[in-house]
Amino acid sequence: MTGSEKGCGGVWKWLMKRTVQVLLWVSMSAVVCVGIHLWMKVHNINTAESLLISMCDERARMLQHQFAVSVNHVHALAILVSTFYYNKIPPAINQSVFADYTDMTSFERPLLSGVAYAQRVVRADREKFENQQGWIIKTMKKEPSPEQDEYAPVIFSQETISYIEALDMMSGEEDRENILRARSTGKAVLTNPFRLLESNHLGVILTFPVYRWRISSDATVDERVKATVGYLGGAFDVESLVENLLKQLAGNKDIMVNVYDVTNISTPLIMYGSGANDGYKLLSYASMLDFGDPFRRHQMECRYRQKPPITWPAITTPLGVYVICMLVGYILHAAHRRFINVVENCRKMEELKVKAEAADIAKSQFLATVSHEIRTPMNGVLGMLDMLLDTELDCTQRDHTQTAQTCGKALISLINEVLDRAKIESGKLELEAVPFDIRAILDEVVSLFSSKSRDNGVELAVFVSSGVPDILIGDPGRFRQIITNLVGNSVKFTERGHIFVHVHLAKNTEFPIATTKYETCLNGISKGSCCFETMRACSTLSGLTTADMRSTWEILQPLLSEEMPLHPDSDDVPLMVTVEDTGVGIPLNAQDRMFTRFMQADSSTSRNYGGTGIGLSITKCLVEMMGGNIDFISHPDVGSTFTFTSMLKKCDAKMSSFQTLPICFRGMNAVVIDEMPVRGAITKYHLQRLGITAEVVGNIQCAFAAISGQHDFLGNGYLKKIDVILVELDKWKSDIERSLPKRLLDWKRSGQILNMPKLVLISTSETVSANTKESVDIVVLKPLRASLLAACFEKALGIDGQKRIETQNKRASIRNLLVGKSILVVDDNLVNRRVAEGALKKYGAQIKCVGSGKDAISHLQIPHHFDACFMDIQMPEMDGFETTKQIRMMESNVNKCTGEKIERWHVLILAMTADVIQATYDKCINCGMDGYVSKPFEEEQLYNSLAKLFKFNDSSIAADEQ
């Protein structure tokens, strides 16, 4: 290729490059010009919209003000009627006075076409009222009013609406609802818009309640209904009101105004205007109106009659910009600005990344701090309650203390659930597999709700079939959470009857669910063809009908007597747990969504009963994680029965390691007098857990036969000795109260019985008469628990200092482990120091408490006599991590100087903190601590951790010496 050809090619390329640049330049300029035009057009629309909003809000405020003035006049007229008609004898107002007064003062109510007063008349007073008035009460159709609970006939009216005299304002369904809402709230209530008779304008009726006396603003609905004597109403001409308002304002010709009643948002009712078909529809604004009725919603909608015109600047400005864009400098400037924007966006992204990482760290720190601040005082509360339980308490005090302790543990469990939220969201929530006593878990749940159930007069009971092993392997915390959620819902929605929790082996309860159809069946009262027979209803726990009839005595009795053993080759224990109640039930249209998160039966459930609606969804998730499923049967006004299955494992651990009940009652005999078989079986179940042989009898004659040895009630020979007689309160009639103590005393004197049995009265309510209390040895309040019965029996039988099996086994070994040990407790909180000191001292340990890390280092200067140290993590000046590091460094220096093979100086340090984040545990181990215990700690947790450390330390030293 020659040089001239190369030159032409370069010029061509240069021209092509310039042409592309020019084309790009022109195109971009045109785009910018169009963009500016569109932007200014949008800006013009926004300006017009702002002006529209301003004018609409101004009209709405003025309309509300004028309406409020008229409402106040009507309210004043209602007070006038109350004062001079009901509080004056004789009344100072009649139809003539009312008509004259309202006509003379009508100028104060220009928006009202007329006012009238309707008196409240109940059905019993109708005949007397009609005789006094000389006319009969008529409906809106001017027909004689039919029989109903109450009426609201017009007795006073303005002359303009005198034709409504004697008409019952409650004959119309909507009018009746408005009147009832007005008197229950004490506020003005409006009707739907309708055409007024004379003017044919759209209007509404305003209703005010008239009270006989002045009532407070926070009066209840019943107080307001009781004080209501009548209702004052007025007809508002909404069209005239809006027309007069618009005539007073400028710019009325530019905009269109429509007023709607939007109480039902799907079908709004027009009160003024021509509707939504006229004007410029794309530019409108709605301003809400408050006419004083809390149950109705109104709004004013404004729009321009014509589309706002395009302004000249929106045309000339883009042209000027287009000329400027022709400059090359603009292209360079735009490129430069683009580069700056890119750099700025990158910088902001880096800042957002740093903030996100900092927020994640702050979240973890927040959870740790909140956990620590809550657990620290709870450690003191639970610790002091634990120490209180070691003192001499009567059965009521022990029950209250144990309930408080259970509630505190439930609060700690709730905190743990909050801290596990991240695991739940990420699907990393894992279940534990540890041995636990299922019967003790159920007793704890019952204790948690005992006070609430007694307040409601509801019988709360639990029962575990004898075929269920004493100790199972699973997650006790999550199992407790499931039972607590279900029982908590039952307690919340049950106001009478019972709540019954029973546990059986799943394979022994494989019978079909009842598929009876309900027509109308209220709990305890049958209407029409009720699906339940009375005799089957009475065989439940409380005698009331239940939604699922599988908890009747006819069904439960075979399960109690023929419990099938578990398969010896399988470790699985399939359980079926049922929680039934006789509460309000679940509406049929809400049952499909009961396990949906944050869903409740209806919107009133949260207001009436509280709650968030998340409990059942969490319960379903936990049940499925345990290898089971959950379902329910519910019928409105009958109750609900929730049933879930769970697959747990057998445990080879001995029951003695979990035993917390006393053994002193074993071998005793008892008689339970109760005609309700299910309730009697529950009482027998709790007695058998204490080792007491019991039999349930239905009446006093059978009880006498059992005591005198005429029948073999216990199945092991004639009954020679009865230690305790338990009687249900509803069976403690006058004949029992007189005959039973007398008969026992006669048998004692004649030598037929060696010792007088103790009389125990079982009651759901705390209100027991003084005479009844004097006739028995002790009263046991439900819900029954084996520990509660044990405490009451100890008091009634005079057993002092009763030792539990757990105490005999555990405390002896702990005393052997801790006696003579010297332990240093380091905590900046005085209450926590007292709890730890009290928990360890009673087992023979020598305790020294200090309040800071510096004091701990001072006491652990080598040589020292301490065997272990409990170290709090979060302390002022020097925290537990730094203190532990300095102690380990001090020990390391001394051990290096000795040159011995054995690290002679190594004090056991156990972290003691309210922070339960996993990162904190790792940090404890990394800084040299030997173990970790979280606050609030229980004595058992404290002892197990310390015993593990002492045993490990002693064995490692012995191995090194060998």
Q: For residue 212, is pLDDT > 80?
A: yes
Question: Which residues of the chain form CATH 3.30.565.10?
Answer: 434-505+534-562+571-601+612-650
Give 942's pLDDT tier (boundaries 50, 70, 90).
low
Token pair 């039919």 in the structure block, residue: 146
When pLDDT is averaged across residues 291-304 and rounded to a whole number, the result is 83
- Please, which pLDDT band fits residue 133 given cuts at 50, 70 and 90? confident
Percent helix, strand and coil across the chain, each rounded to 5?
A: 50, 20, 30
Q: Give the number of other CB atoms < 10 A from CB of residue 373.
A: 13
Over range 502-517, report the average pLDDT: 59
Q: Which of 481-485, 678-682, 712-716 has the lowest mean pLDDT?
A: 712-716
Does residue 155 contact residue 115 with C-beta atoms inside 8 Å?
Answer: no
User: CATH 3.40.50.2300 region(s) of the chain?
Assistant: 669-800, 811-958
Average pLDDT over residues 575-599: 81
User: CB burial class (10 A; 0-12, 13-18, 19+) of residue 706?
Assistant: buried
Structure tokens given for 714: 């216990």
Q: Supply angle C-alpha 480, 485, 489, rounded to 5.
A: 145
Q: To 10 degrees, what angle do helices 786-797 and 438-448 make?
A: 80
In tens, the pLDDT along 42-86 reads 888 888 888 888 888 888 888 888 888 888 888 888 888 888 888
pLDDT-derived band at 944 (thresholds 50, 70, 90) equals low
What is the rounded CA–CA span in Å between residue 846 and residue 844? 7
What share of the chain in percent tops pLDDT 90? 7
Reported confidence tier of residue 9, pLDDT bands at 50, 70, 90: low
CATH hierarchy code of domain 434-505+534-562+571-601+612-650: 3.30.565.10
Given pLDDT bands bounded at 50, 70 and 90, which one contains residue 113?
A: confident
Q: List beta partners, residue 913.
A: 934
Instruction: Find the range with the poorest average confidence among 7-21, 60-74, 85-99, 831-845.
Output: 7-21
Is 395 exposed, middle or buried (CB count within 10 Å of its CB: 0-12, 13-18, 19+)?
buried
What was the pLDDT predicted at 725? 85
What beta strand segments (E) does 729-782 contain? 758-763, 778-781
Q: What is the C-alpha separation between 938 and 915, in angstroms, rounded?
A: 16
What is the arithmetic mean of pLDDT over 313-323? 79
In this prediction, residues 637-658 reach a mean pLDDT of 81
Cα 594 to Cα 597: distance, rounded to the nearest angstrom: 8
Determine the pLDDT at residue 956.
46
> Is the peptide bond preceding residue 90 cis, with omega within 30 degrees of 0?
yes
The more confident residue out of 604 and 499 is 499
pLDDT of residue 577: 93
pLDDT of 468 above 50: yes
Q: Which helix (H) or strand (E) holds 578?
A: strand 572-581
Give the SS3 label for residue 259. strand
Do 690 and 789 touch, CB atoms closer than 8 A? yes
For residue 569, the model assigns a pLDDT of 66
pLDDT band at 804 (very low <50, low <70, confident <90, very high): very low
Contact between 382 and 405 under an 8 Å Cβ cutoff? The reply is yes
Give pLDDT, residue 735.
56
**pLDDT tier for residue 782 given thresholds of 50, 70 and 90:** confident
Residues 404-449: tens digit of each pLDDT: 887 887 777 666 656 655 555 555 567 888 888 899 899 988 888 8
The predicted structure's pLDDT at residue 427? 56
Q: Are 852 and 874 in contact (CB under 8 A)?
A: no
The answer, yes or no, to whether residue 670 has pLDDT greater than 50, is yes
Spell out the residues 6+ positions from residue 737 whose beta carbon is closer than 8 angstroms to its own: 771, 772, 775
For the 811-958 domain, the top CATH level (class) is alpha beta
Residue type, 582: T
Please give the radius of gyration of the chain, using alpha carbons only, rounded to the nearest integer.
Answer: 41
Please tell me the predicted confidence (pLDDT) of residue 736.
64
The reported pLDDT for the residue numbered 607 is 41
Average pLDDT of every residue of the chain = 77
User: What confidence category does residue 903 fall into, taking pLDDT thresholds of 50, 70 and 90?
Assistant: low
Residue type, 553: W
Res. 530 pLDDT band, cuts 50 70 90: very low
Q: Which of 14-18, 390-394, 498-502 has the lowest mean pLDDT?
A: 14-18
| Residue 275 pLDDT level (bands cut at 50, 70, 90) | low
Residue 291 has pLDDT above 90, yes or no: no
What pLDDT, on the 0 to 100 scale, is given for residue 803? 42
What class has domain 64-304? alpha beta
Look up residue 472 and give its two tokens: 């199972």
Residue 720 has pLDDT above 80, yes or no: no
DSSP letter, residue 86: I
Do the Cβ atoms of 680 and 703 come closer than 8 Å?
no
Average pLDDT over residues 170-192: 85
Q: How confident is the model at residue 27 (pLDDT cuts 50, 70, 90)?
A: confident
CA–CA distance from 307 to each of 279, 283, 462, 557 (Å)? Answer: 8, 8, 74, 82
pLDDT at 932 over 80: no
Could you tell me where in the chain the CATH 3.30.450.350 domains are found? 64-304
Q: Is the pLDDT of residue 758 over 70?
A: yes
Residue 775 has pLDDT above 80, yes or no: no
- Name the band, by pLDDT with cuts 50, 70 and 90, for residue 17: low
Identify any residues that bridge with 203 across adjacent strands, giving them in sequence order. Answer: 194, 237
**What is the spatial distance between Cα 690 and Cα 799, in angstroms, rounded to a whole number?**
14
Question: What band does 611 get if pLDDT is binned at 50, 70 and 90?
Answer: very low
Q: Across residues 474-493, what is the average pLDDT?
A: 88
Identify which of 112-116, 150-154, 570-574 has the greatest average pLDDT.
Answer: 150-154
Type of residue at 651:
C
Query: What's the CATH code, domain 669-800?
Result: 3.40.50.2300
The reported pLDDT for the residue numbered 943 is 61
Q: Are 166 and 193 in contact (CB under 8 A)?
A: no
Degrees to nearest 5, angle at CA 747 with 746 and 752: 155
CA dist 17 to 14, 23, 71, 414, 873, Å?
Answer: 5, 10, 78, 71, 72
Q: Mean pLDDT over residues 474-501, rounded?
A: 89
Q: Do residues 788 and 446 lie in contact, with contact meaning Cβ atoms separated by under 8 Å?
A: no
pLDDT in tens, 532-552: 333 344 578 888 888 887 667
Higher pLDDT, 527 or 320: 320
Q: Which of 545, 59, 542 is nearest to 273 (CA)?
A: 59
